[in-house]
Amino acid sequence: MSELIRVPDIGSGEGEIIELFVKVGDRIEADQSLLTLESDKASMEIPAPKAGVIKELKVKLGDRLKEGDELLVLEAEGAAAAAPEAPAAAPAQAAAPAPAAEAAPAPAPAAAPAAASVQDIHVPDIGSSGKAKIIEVLVKVGDTVEADQSLITLESDKASMEIPSPAAGVVEEVLCKLEDEVGTGDLIFKLKVAGAAPAAAPAPAAAAAPAKAEAAPAAAPAAAAPAAAPAPVATAPAAGSNAKVHAGPAVRQLAREFGVELGAVAATGPHGRILKEDVQVYVKAMMQKAKEAPAAAGATGGAGIPPIPAVDFSKFGEVEEVALTRLMQVGAANLHRSWLNVPHVTQFDSADITELEAFRVAQKAVAEKAGVKLTVLPLLLKACAFLLKELPDFNSSLAPSGKAIIRKKYVHIGFAVDTPDGLLVPVIKNVDQKSLLQLAAEAAALAEKARTKKLSADEMQGACFTISSLGHIGGTGFTPIVNAPEVAILGVSKATMQPVWDGKAFQPKLMLPLSLSYDHRVINGAAAARFTKRLGDVLGDIRTMLL
């Protein structure tokens, strides 16, 4: 016997066929999935009401269907059941879609003439033969609800879906709670409906005047409840994770497509639910923010690197927001760009500067007579300039093509200066052509200009190499970031007296820690080791520069 199978109650207006699991000629079992429908509120699989052979398919992928629409013609193996005809017989029903559930409301026709005002709300056909868990209860006793307003959200193995109210009214009694397992036909609410017949009553003439006296025992307490809560709460919840946000499968799928964390989206739907429009507004805002703040991307992420999640630190205690200076912002962007583009490696070594320090102290009077202070920095500048000429790959930059290096015939060296507004790197030009006293005077003048914000653009450009000295503060080593497009930077820490074995005994030596960071695309490890070794030799005996 052939039977026409229709769409059961899907708890919403329409749904689109996104999967079709059967074809003509297939033999199917009862409760086997036929297709998947996706609506604005849920995606769900529609099961076969009985076993049989498919004789005709009346739908295809992409079709939009609603309750009662024709799906297929089935050659049933057993006796025909009345379940498929239920939607046509009672299209307004929200309860009793299953055959077993129709036997319970048998006394309902007698209530129709009396226009009973309390209506039982049952779980409609949820497209599964098993149970589904209640993950949200969206209303409470006393709430006024509209027709098709969501009452609860169910989640099964196959779908999550919202169960709507079949009519407008006031919630009289809530017969379910969070985490309950419910199935098709289960009683979940009692709804006080003004002037409407119960959903199971077949008689259409139930629009008579409401008979409030019939519900008198429960009417008194229920009447006070709407006054206290005349409308459902529609504020967004303070959810902190995707597991707790209120959103249907279609919204969650949209969020996944855009890579959006739903916990970050502001909800505007009823009862704090996130709508598709909310996700779209969030995505537009993020795109606009990215256009307006390209510089900020350097601090928060880029090149496919996930940004650091925003944290509301005020939750943990008192906070203060201090704006970065323009200099700090530019410096941060430059350092971040260099760190992302340059494969950094740092070579650590130390130099014996015992004799160098003795020489510096001995020349103190000569320097004071010339009006300058001779520090270790001019000596480091002179030694590095000597090595940049001896090892020219350290005085180069990688060509934009990445297929060559550009060697520089000049020797300009920058040195880092700590200022209240941030880090500045003034540049001394032609270091190899200047004396120690000239370098001392120029370094002091440029450092003072940096601290008083008087450096010109020309005085901060053209460096081939950079020195960052923290020796006046302390530390035993660090990993400086290459100031691209330079290929190396020398970090200098605090010199300390160390016992050094001379082959016969330990001798006290003033050892200077060196940290050479370099661009591994241009400089290899052996070359870096040779550089620090040679620098140690030169600083150990500056007379070697005269050879």
The residues annotated with a catalytic role in the active site are 520
Radius of gyration for the alpha carbons in the chain, expressed in angstroms and rounded: 40
Structural tokens at position 517: 């960071």
Q: Note whether 162 and 41 are within 8 A (CB).
A: yes
Instruction: Give the DSSP per-residue string, 247-265.
Output: --HHHHHHHHHHT--GGGS
- Distance CA(338)–CA(486), nearest Å, equals 10
Report the C-alpha gap between 12 and 64 in whole angstroms.
12
- 526: three-class secondary structure by DSSP: helix
Phi, psi of 136 (to 5 degrees): -150, 135
Q: For residue 352, give the nearest of 532, 543, 544, 511 by alpha carbon.
A: 511
With 0-12 CB in 10 A as exposed, 13-18 as middle and 19+ as buried, what is 193? buried
Supply the angle between the helices 376-390 and 525-540 in degrees, to the nearest 10. 130
Q: Return the DSSP state at 113.
A: G
Q: Where are the alpha helices (DSSP H) in 3-107?
A: 86-89
Q: Tokens 């006394």 appear where? A: 107
Cα separation, 523 vs 29, whole angstroms = 70
- Cis, bond preceding 232 (omega within 30 deg of 0): no
- Evaluate whether 464 touches 388 at the Cβ level (below 8 Å): yes
Helices (H) and strands (E) in the chain, counts: 12, 27
Reduced to 3 states, what is the DSSP secondary structure of residue 310? coil
Closest CA to 46 of 80, 77, 12, 79: 12
Q: Could you tell me which of 29, 17, 98, 99 has the C-alpha nearest to residue 58?
A: 17
Closest CA to 16 of 32, 34, 36: 36
Residue 150, CA distances (Å) to 98, 228, 270 in order: 21, 21, 9
